[in-house]
Structure 1
Amino acid sequence: MTTEPVPPAFPRFQSTVPHYVAGRPNYAPALIRTVADHLHLSNDHRLMDLGCGPGWLGIAFAPFVGQVIGIDPEPAMLEVARTIAAASSVAIELVEGSSYSLGLHLGTFRAVTIGRAFHWMDRTDTLRKLDDLIEQDGAVILFNDVRPDVPQNAWYKSYTEVVDRFTNRSVGFAPERLRHETVLLASRFDQLTRLGVIEQKSVPVDRLIDRALSMSTSSPEQLGELSGQLAQQMTAEMLPFASNGNVVEVIESQALIARRR
């Protein structure tokens, strides 16, 4: 007899929403186009953005497919996604739910995108459920971003040190957790391809403060009055690297495409 995983008590992201939208870097438009071309997406296809947050991935892929469904457990994130989609004149269906509510009632999809959310899921169970929902030639695509070790990113070490000082590790993840690639290679979706696009941007230090407060482990809900101290320390630490209140960030948006054999 098998039992379904028990859905966890999801961390509340309501307090992070304005900081998430203001501070998190969006994925490079060139990467979205490259992934769409790689998967030969068309108006005949449906796409699911699982753990969609403010809907950035679903909205970005909407011009390349016939229908997009975004799923997220946080109502405040879905409300922002509706606002952004309306402002972009993009039609996207948004559903309150999670990887634990996946089922055949959702229909089938050519692609399922997951951006910075796979670590919140029972990854093995999620891939098993997606195996029933994704077309044979379809794919799971995990999106993330990294910062190359280049001189422009010299500020990033100080940024992470400030964030680490205020991190509540009790709501994080153990460092020994398996990498996503390991979990994918043990699933049906074991054919992996990584695509990346590198951009250079000017980022206001205020947006870096938002970025720090957008994380579940250092959210305003977690920090309370310490949020102000984080902002003060971040401003001070970024001062040597900033010009006119901005730092230069070199960022690589990555897509890990997982397909079946």
Structure 2
Amino acid sequence: MTWVWDETLYLGSAPYYARGRLPYAPGLAEALRESLGLDGSGRLLDVGCGPGVVALTLAPLFEEVVAVDPDPGMIEEARRRGAEARVSNAEWVQVRAEDLPAGLGSFRVIVFAQSFHWMERGKVAATSRELLTDGGSLVHISDLKEFPPLPTGAAPRPPFDEIKSLVRSYLGATRRAGQGLLPDGTPSGEASVLRAAGFAEPRHLVVPGGQVVKRSADDVVAWTYSRSDSAPHLFGERLPQFEAELRWLLHRTSAAGRFTEVVPDTEVFIWDKGATTPG
């Protein structure tokens, strides 16, 4: 069964996302400022912005930020967090990436933070290049999928493998995504897609993480519900039963309800618009 995007992909996950997910490496904004020569001017477009994590981090580097996401819950949460942070130069728009440009204008930088794989990538890449001003750049951000070692004497890492096994026992062995399944996982190979759209060869940055983060059982529950394959709505009437088992699993791992994680390095590819259009 082939998964097709639908509006329930992250249904109910928005309130849990910012709390459940680890932050990007704290030097991300400074690394982009230096690499792109950002000086507070120009416009940023964050595509698939979720609850606004990256848009709010980068907002001080631009005159204006436009952040788009198809999920109304994510946009509502991003708007709430932006108001709480007193960010006044950000606009939050509920729209699918495939429906851009949507009258939003042109941009100096377009960013995709672990969102590009959910989209019709060829179409979105071509549209993004058209939306960039001359000299503009598309920025692809992700975490390096590694587990840095924990400090000696730290509380244990959350039992991620056991959590995923528990999810599978409720939802089945094949990863869920909205109303469908992802039998082969999320797509990769975005480099070939962006090259085909006419972008120049990328610059590669690795922003070091390594910060030790203390996590509570509530944080780990939030991480579980922030994922598309274990979004709250997928459990239906069994959600209370699932959460009770999840919390018991966490208690078995750490009776004190304390866990430790280490922020991974953040990987960045900067794709400049380039001077030519693919033929």
Same fold per superposition (TM over 0.5): yes
Quick check: 136-145 or 76-85, which moved more? 136-145
Quick check: 176-185 or 35-44, which moved more? 176-185
Of 122, 125, 128 in structure 1, the residue corresponding to residue 123 of structure 2 is: 125
Match of 1:107 in 2: 105
Shift of 1:249: 0.6
Letter in 2 for 1:63: P
Letter in 2 for 1:233: E
Tell me whether 1:71 sits opposite 2:68 in the alignment. yes
Q: Is the 8 A contact 2:176 2:230 kept in 1?
A: no
Question: Identity over aligned residues, as a percent?
Answer: 25
Shift of 1:8: 4.9
Q: Which has the higher helix share?
A: 1
Shift of 1:87: 1.2
Query: Structure 1 CA distance, aligned partners of 2:29 and 2:142?
Result: 12
Tell me whether 1:41 sits opposite 2:52 in the alignment. no
Of 243, 250, 270 in structure 2, the residue corresponding to residue 231 of structure 1 is: 243
* 3-state SS of paired residue (1:143): strand
Tell me whether 1:242 sits opposite 2:254 in the alignment. yes
Task: Label 1:207 to 1:154 Cα distance change in 2 as closer, same or farther (>3 A).
Answer: closer
Task: Label 1:226 to 1:194 Cα distance change in 2 as closer, same or farther (>3 A).
Answer: farther
* 3-state SS of paired residue (2:31): helix
Higher relative contact order (CA 8 A, sep 6+): 2
How do 1:127-206 and structure 2 match up within 5 A? 127-152=125-150, 153=157, 155-167=159-171, 169-171=175-177, 172-175=181-184, 177-189=187-199, 190-198=201-209, 199-206=211-218
Shift of 1:173: 2.9
After superposition, give the CA deviation of every residue in 1:198-218 in whole Å (9 maximum; x if it has no partner): 122111122111111122221
Shift of 1:192: 4.1
5+ residue gaps, structure 2: 151-156, 275-279
Query: Structure 1 CA distance, aligned partners of 2:171 and 2:138?
Result: 30
Query: How many residues end up aligned between the 2 structures?
Result: 255
CA RMSD of aligned residues (A): 2.6
Letter in 1 for 2:232: P
TM-score between the two structures when normalised by the length of structure 2: 0.80
TM-score between the two structures when normalised by the length of structure 1: 0.85
Query: Structure 2 CA distance, aligned partners of 1:104 and 1:84?
Result: 24
Query: Structure 2 CA distance, aligned partners of 1:125 and 1:226?
Result: 38
Task: Label 1:182 to 1:174 Cα distance change in 2 as closer, same or farther (>3 A).
Answer: farther
Q: Is the 8 A contact 1:99 1:121 kept in 2?
A: yes
